[in-house]
Structures are given as structure tokens and as C-alpha cells.
A = this chain, B = another copy of it.
């Protein structure tokens, strides 16, 4: 099944995708639902983030090549985590498929994409083993963990760096029935591939994250776990279009715009290549 959440004629609903059509439901995949019988064309609705997570978990560092890139870029030693590196992002930063990523006026311009697989929790999970953890996942979607690198170096909690308005595109929908351990992820900027990796390269998998969190915390329906990115990342600038594709799910696409006063486009892409 492919769950979406959308806006149409002033109302918000969950729906089930069937090719280019969406069957509206009354309720949600988390609290129970009935199919209303209303069918719309995907082209006629506006997709929203496929859920609004009560708690928004993320992996900090979870891919080796991305850690090694960080070491080269910052000329520091970053240890490979010896246990899941669990953190949070903010619901306030979420933005929908096709909605713009906005470079803030005060940004240095050093704003990067980060393509990620996202697990969406389907039912309450407390003290679940790794073997059973994936049974608590409703399905998977795609996230872009947009990051302002200058602020990341300045702010202990990454609040602006990771959570400025529009910095967390998520979607386009939730795909059920996927195995998260072997999915190809492709990131494109303006139709050029800028990163390719497979989720098998995660240092700690989805099951280990969920099991570890659940030792201390009850995961709730609609919570999301973003699982980290691999490889080097690079700047995005006003005028760019970022597309993140995960095999079996689809493509999360977002254009990039700039607030008035943000650094001009042509100052970008001059650093951080290695």
C-alpha cells in the first residue's frame, strides 16, 4: 500500500494511492480508517508531508563515507558511533513534496542536501527486540535533512542548522511492505546525480534504532525515524531542484528559493569539494 496525505478544496485527508489515482479515506493509517469511495486524480490534489510526527527522531551519523567526508572537510577525527546516534528534528521544519526549500536571509549560503530513508512508526513500540522492531513500522518515506553547515558549527543543538523553516522536506508518500535493509538511494540536483548509496551501508539499521529507542521511550504511531545520509553532500542554491529517489518508494522533489537578502547564487559551489 502507498499512503499519502493531501489537501484538496480546503480539507486535509489521508488517501491510498492507486497508480495516478487516490482513494480518499476517513481516518488515518494510525487510528483506523474507512475508504470513503471518493477517488481523485493525483494531478488534482496537493500532497502534504505524509504524516505529522508527534516525535521526530533522526540518526546523527549513520554511514561511514559521510563520516569520512566530514573528517576531511572539517579536518577533525570523528569516531564511528559504537551505538545508534539518536537525536531529534522538529515538526516545525517539515515541508511538503514540491514545496520550496527556502535559504534564510541570514544564512552564509553553506546549505546542503542530505537524502535519507525515513521509517514511519505504525503502532506503539516499547521494549521491542531488533527481530520484532520492523513489525512496528507502517512503511517508509523519503526525507531531505537540509543542513546549514555554518550554523551547525556554531550551535550545540543544531536548532537553526537543521530546523529552520522548510529545512525538512518529507514525502511523497509512505510505502508499506518494503525491506529497508537494501534500498538504493539516489540524490539529484538539477537532473545530475550528486550522491548514490544503498541503505545496506547503514552503520545501525532501522531495526536497531527502533529497538534502542524503545528501551527508554515509547514510539508512537506517526512518529518518524530519519536514518541518516551517506557520502559527501554539497550546496544547494536558489534556482536548484533537489530530487531524492528511493527504490520502491518514489521521488521527493523540492525546488530551492532564497529569502530576500540571502547570499547570491553565484557565491555558491566554491568550497567544500573534495
Contacts and interface: CB of A to CB of B under 8 A. Distances in A.
A165 B55 contact: no
Contacts of A220: 92
Interface stretch (A198-206, A210-218, A265-273): A210-218
Given A92-B54, A92-B223, A223-B92, A87 B159 contact: yes
A150 interface: no
Contacts of A164: 216-217
B156 A60 contact: yes
* Range of interface residues on A (Cβ < 8 Å): 20 to 34
B55 A92 contact: yes
Contact of A157 (B52, B88, B93, B155): B88
Contacts of A85: 156-157
A86 interface: yes
Given A92-B217, A159-B217, 16 more contacts: A52-B54, A54-B91, A60-B157, A85-B156, A86-B157, A86-B159, A87-B156, A88-B90, A92-B220, A104-B216, A106-B215, A126-B165, A159-B213, A164-B217, A165-B216, A165-B218
